[in-house]
Structure 1
Amino acid sequence: MDKIQHKAIFVNGINMHVAESGEGPAVLFLHGFPELWYTWRHQMLFLSSRGYRAIAPDLRGYGDTDAPPSAASYTAFHIVGDLVALLDALGLDQIFLVGHDWGAVMAWYLCLLRPDRVKALVNMSVVYSPRNPRRKPLESLRAAFGDDYYMCRFQVPGEAEEEFARVDTTRLMKKFLTSRKPGPLCVPKHVGFGGSPNSPIVLPSWLTEEDVNYYASKFNQKGFTGGLNYYRALDLNWELTAPWTGSQIKVPVKFIVGDEDLTYTTPGVKEFIHGGGFKRVVPFLQELVVMEGVAHFLNEEKPEEINAHIYDFIQRF
């Protein structure tokens, strides 16, 4: 980890913490919830040892990057604006892009809004979801999965934060990172996000106490509001992206998902991926990988395999 350098860069009105390693063609890594630049540590060290420049920011609202309080400051346009400003500050015209979870969503948006800045994309867990012109996302999610669906539960400012605060942050991070429950994820209020405080959480071989403590220390400092605001901007994104209704993702793409990922096991997703819908909206989809026995945090759970998948794909360009 000594090979990874850290700095703060002023972008788009905020100070962004950026981790960086290596020299050569640039690869930009975008993390999800509840993660940090740290989720990409294995990939950064691997690619930087093979002639690439690995760049992993803490996205707006996370870790050592500024966290504006209002959910209205977390639209796709804000995040893509941060990323374009980051590329400009680093003097990069084009990058290879790698995303996971909310980082994958923002990677899709970066490719939709500024495809000129992306050579190729390796995206994980979350498929590109075309805008439904007839119904807002939260209305669709409530209709499909009910009010206990986690994205719906995250909507009221302060509510999920209060629930999280009742649980030790280290335990909460263990709960999030080790969850293998197939989707859709529904969490009734009487159960809560921490689950039973008496049930032990055994860490898998790929996750250490040191890893969990790093995440917990940053979320203890920053809180979870920034990360939750991405969910709270879902309908606002829908309103703002009306001009892009029907648009396709026009960059070369490799998509990777675990067959135990809640994003893959949510009703309708497999049909969309394998039934032709995904390829229609992402016409330059070149590779589709479904990893067996792998859950949501696949880049941490199977780092060597993910490293190879990324490397094999971006070498072609």
Structure 2
Amino acid sequence: MRPSPVGTPEWASNDDVEAAQADFDRNGFGGALNLYRAIPLSSELMMAFAGRAVLQPSYFVFGDSDGLNQLRMPVEEELKVGCPDLRGFVQIDDAGHWPQLEQTLTFNKLLLEFLAEVHGGLDQFDQ
């Protein structure tokens, strides 16, 4: 495998990279491609949920540098149509597609606050 032209990101350890590379070496790229191969079937199966809303409490977190934002920026009011109990909509600075890995402390703080709001207190969660 060729080396990364930019090196290991700050948020990933060399152990993370080596584990991912070992998985890739062992399993190939088929799993990632299967997601795209299954789109027609997934779309067909999801038709049963067309027009349905997520009624459970929800929270949307995204990175300001996520490449998908260039395709379509998330819009809170649009999300509320499908998630009427949307409790939070937060853009995390200096994060891309994986804010839970790239800005772990910020993401975990938001997650714990959401869980506390939904479940009534942080005392039940180890911090």
TM range (shorter): 0.7 to 0.9
Q: Choose which of 41, 56, 66 in structure 2 pairs with 1:251.
A: 56
**Cα distance, 1:225 vs structure 2:** 0.9
Alignment of 1:180-195 (within 5 A): none
Which protein is richer in helix relative to its size?
2
* Correspondent of 1:300 among 101, 104, 108: 101
Structure 2 equivalent of residue 204 of structure 1:
9
2:22 aligned to which of 217, 227, 233: 217
- Aligned partners of 2:12, 2:50: CA distance in 1, in Å? 40
Are the equivalent residues in 1 in contact too, given 2:87–2:114 (CA < 8 A)?
A: no
1:315 offset after TM fit, Å?
Answer: 1.8
Q: Secondary structure at the match of 1:261?
A: coil
Question: Which secondary structure does the structure 1 equivalent of 2:22 belong to?
Answer: helix
Greater strand fraction, Structure 1 or Structure 2 = 1
CA displacement 1:248-301 (0-9 Å, x = unmatched): 1111001100111012221xx32x514x22111111111000112221121111
Q: Does 1:273 align with 2:98?
A: no
> What 5-or-longer segments of structure 2 have no aligned partner?
120-127
Partner SS, residue 61 of structure 2:
strand
Q: CA RMSD in A?
A: 1.7
Q: Secondary structure at the match of 1:315?
A: helix
What TM-score do the two structures reach when normalised by structure 2?
A: 0.82
Deviation per residue, 1:144-189 (Å, 9 max, x gap)? xxxxxxxxxxxxxxxxxxxxxxxx1x74xx5xxxxxxxxxxxxxxx
Residue 212 of structure 1 and its aligned partner are, at CA, apart by 0.4
Question: How many Å separate the matches in 2 of 1:239 and 1:230?
Answer: 14
- Amino acid in structure 2 at the alignment position of 1:290: Q
Could you list the per-position Cα deviations for residues 8-29 of structure 1 after superposition, in whole angstroms to 9, with x for gaps in the alignment?
xxxxxxxxxxxxxxxxxxxxxx
Pairing 1:236–2:49 present: no
Q: Does 1:263 align with 2:87?
A: no
Please, what TM-score do these two structures have when normalized by structure 1?
0.35
How far 1:201 moved relative to its partner? 2.0
User: Which residue of the partner structure matches residue 25 of structure 1?
Assistant: none
Q: CA, structure 1 residues 226+204, in 2 after alignment: closer, same or farther (shift >3 Å)?
A: closer
Partner of 1:287: 88
Q: Which residue of 2 aligns with 1:191?
A: none
Q: Which amino acid aligns with 2:75?
A: I
User: Equivalent residue for 2:124?
Assistant: none
Q: Is the 8 A contact 2:65 2:93 kept in 1?
A: yes
* 1:84-140 per-position Cα deviation (integer Å, ceiling 9, x unaligned): xxxxxxxxxxxxxxxxxxxxxxxxxxxxxxxxxxxxxxxxxxxxxxxxxxxxxxxxx
Task: Count matched residues.
Answer: 118
CA contact (8 A) 2:63 2:96 kept: yes
Q: Displacement of 1:202 after TM fit? A: 2.4
Runs of 4+ in structure 1 off by over 3 angstroms are none
Stretches of structure 1 lacking an aligned partner (at least 5 in a row):
1-167, 175-199
Q: Kindly state the Cα deviation for residue 313 of structure 1 after the two structures are TM-superposed.
A: 0.9
> Quick one: percent identity of the two aligned structures?
26
Corresponding residue number in structure 2 for 1:182: none
Pairing 1:24-173 to 2, within 5 Å after superposition: 168=1, 171=3
